[in-house]
Structure 1
Amino acid sequence: MKLPKELYNGVIIFIGIGLYFILMEILGLADLYYLRLFNVLFVFYGTNRTLKMNYEEGKTVFTSNATSALLTSLIGVFLSVIGLITYSYIQGGDAYLQSLSKTFLFGGSPSIMTYSISLLFEGIVSAVIISFMLMLYWNNRLVSDNQ
């Protein structure tokens, strides 16, 4: 059974982000908030890969490609948030989360679910922005190739 490319590339996003954050933790760089922003590169990679596959298959309809790109990035985001929740509970629950929130964007002491839901919303917004940025790139590339 062949997995849909959106699911396959969404899992690639999840694995990339997971390995990146585990590597940051091992190297002792998890407290550097600006390094956390590089996870967007994995979302770009997986989403771009889906769009590239679509165009190689001859699928050039803007709406179906936009849906495919958005689905890929959302799968990666949802799996990453689920992974964060699981990892946080394995590492000690709210006590582990408090070490993250000191160096991140939260004040006070958020629960794992509050933290994860806010990251989920942030991830959804990032997924939409990245998907449409890549759609503009691929749409312009396709148009200029035909002229």
Structure 2
Amino acid sequence: MKIAKELYNGVIIFIGIALYFALIEVLQLTDVFYLRLFNILFVFYGVNKTLQSNYKEGKNNFGKNAVSAFITGFIGVFLSLMGLTAYIYSKGGDEFIESLSYTLLYPGEATVMTYVFSLLIEAIVSVMIVSFSLLLFWKRKYPSD
């Protein structure tokens, strides 16, 4: 059974982000908040891999490629957020979030769900920006009209 490339690359995004944050934790660099910004590179990689595969298969339709890119990114993001939620609860839940309040740049009383929801909104916007950027890059290389 062949796995859809969107699911496969979404899982690749999840694995990349999970290993990256595990490495940050092992190296005890969790307080360096700007290292968290590099997780977007894994989203770029997964979405680009999906679009590259689509164009190699001759799929030049901008709309269908956009849907494919969004699905890939959203799968990676949702899996990552589910993994993050499980990790936070394994470390103590809301108490763990409160201990991180300085490095999270999250004002007020944070709960696990409000924190994950705010990351979800941020992640959706990131996936859209990455997807549109890569769609425009690939459209220039392989015009659909």
Q: TM-score range by the shorter chain?
A: over 0.9
Are 2:19 and 1:19 equivalent residues in the alignment? yes
Deviation of 1:33 after TM superposition, in Å, equals 0.8
The one-letter code sitting in structure 2 at the alignment partner of 1:2 is K
Q: Give distance in 1, aligned partners of 2:131 and 2:64.
A: 12
TM normalised by structure 1 equals: 0.94
In structure 1, the partner of 2:88 is 88
Summarize the alignment of residues 64-79 of structure 1 with structure 2, pairs less than 5 Å apart.
64-79=64-79
**TM-superposed deviation, 1:100:** 2.7
For structure 1, which runs of at least 5 residues remain unmatched after alignment? none
Following the alignment from structure 1 to structure 2, what is the Cα–Cα distance between the partners of residues 23 and 99? Answer: 20
Instruction: Between 78-87 and 104-113, report the one with greater CA deviation.
Output: 104-113
CA deviation profile, 1:17-56 (whole Å, cap 9, x unmatched): 0111111111111111100000000000000000001011
2:4 matched to 1:4? Answer: yes
In the superposition, the TM-score normalised over structure 2's length comes to: 0.96
Distance 2:83 2:33 in 1: 19
Identity %: 58
> How many residues end up aligned between the 2 structures?
144
Match of 1:51 in 2: 51
Give me the whole-angstrom Cα distance separating, in 2, the residues matched to 1:61 and 1:30: 42
Unaligned stretches of 5+ in structure 2? none
